[in-house]
Amino acid sequence: MKSYLIVLIACSSLVGCVSKKKFKVLQAQHTALEVNNRTNLKSLERAEVALKGCSDEKARLEKELSDTKAMNMKLISQSTEMAMLSKQGAENLQNSLEKMKEKDLQIRNLNEAINKRDSMTIALVTQLKRAVGTENENIEVNVEKGVIMVSISDKFLFTTGSYEVNKSAYAVLKDVATVLKDRPTFDVLVEGHTDNVPFKKGDLIDNWDLSVKRATSLSRTLVQQFQIDPKRLIPAGRGAHIPLADNATAEGRAKNRRTRIVVMPKIDEFYGMIEQGMKGEGKK
């Protein structure tokens, strides 16, 4: 029994010694594992920080890429719009130049037509003055606003208070009619004018009525005696409403009592000159 106890105690001591040594080994291993774990944790933390940095950088780069793509698309769109605007601008400029050329052509043709009309007017005035003479104080030939006016005093054409044309005026009227026949495309306005002295006689109720009767009578004489086409004649009575001089004096009233033969180029003929000029220009 005593021997068994001694062996048991010895075994217990041996087992105790072995376990303590193993414990230290295990403890050292544990310590190494903890150090390694802490190192790994720090490496993991650094890796996570680096990963987050990479993620942030990736997000920044993706945003930059998206912004760059958007900017590129905007530039492409602006470039396309600018190209379209440039094309439209060029077309607008070309259209403006064409319109300016067309306007310039119209103005040039209009000026040519006016010059042609003025030349015709000068020639007609010269012909009329030569026909009626320049020494007859009862007849005046001039140009006003592009039309020719032959003004004849009432005492030469009519007896006072009458609207029948004096036969003594037929010689001059024949010369005027001859010139008018040479210009068959011109219209002829026959205007009667009076002074402002109140007038009433027989079927004539006032000066206006007298001026109308005289214009009509002279027109009828031109047709019946000198074969002027009636379609060309426009008789009109103006009464005392368009005086040339002051009716306060006898001289002024005498000047206002007159009949005018106004020779006018037809409007359609005038525009025909312009159209003819434009057609001629278009053939060049």
pLDDT at 271 over 50: yes
Least confident of 87-91, 163-167, 176-180, 252-256: 87-91
pLDDT tens digits, one per residue of 169-221: 999 999 899 989 988 888 999 999 999 999 888 888 999 999 999 999 999 99
Local structure of 4: helix, strand or coil:
helix
* pLDDT tens, position by position, 74-84: 888 777 777 77
Average pLDDT over residues 107-113: 65
113 pLDDT band, cuts 50/70/90, is: low
Q: Give residue-wise pLDDT tens across range 49-63.
A: 777 777 777 788 888
Query: pLDDT tens digit string along 215-255?
Result: 999 999 999 999 999 999 999 999 999 999 999 999 999 99
Mean pLDDT of all residues belonging to the chain: 80
Residue 46, number of CB atoms within 10 A of its CB: 10
pLDDT score at 11: 47
Closest CA to 161 of 213, 201, 212, 196: 201
Percentage above 90 pLDDT, the chain: 29
pLDDT value at residue 243: 94
Domain 114-274 has CATH 3.30.420.40: no
SS3 content of the chain, % helix, strand, coil (to 5): 70, 15, 15
Is there a contact between 197 and 243 (Cβ–Cβ < 8 Å)? no
Q: Out of 134-143, 168-177, 214-223, 262-271, give the one with best mean pLDDT.
A: 214-223
Confidence band of 140 (pLDDT split at 50, 70, 90): confident
Q: How far is Cα 277 from Cα 284, in angstroms, rounded to an integer? A: 11
Q: How confident is the model at residue 268 (pLDDT cuts 50, 70, 90)?
A: low
Every domain of the chain and the residues it spans:
1-97, 114-274
CB proximity list for 25: less than 8 A, separation 6 or greater: none
**243: Cα within 13 Å, side-chain hemisphere:** 15
**Taking each helix axis from N to C terminus, what angle separates 267-282 and 2-132, rounded to the nearest 10 degrees?**
120
What confidence score (pLDDT) does residue 196 get? 93
Stated pTM of the model: 0.56
Give every CB contact of residue 190 below 8 A, 6+ residues apart in sequence.
215, 218, 219, 222, 233, 234, 235, 236, 259, 260, 261, 262
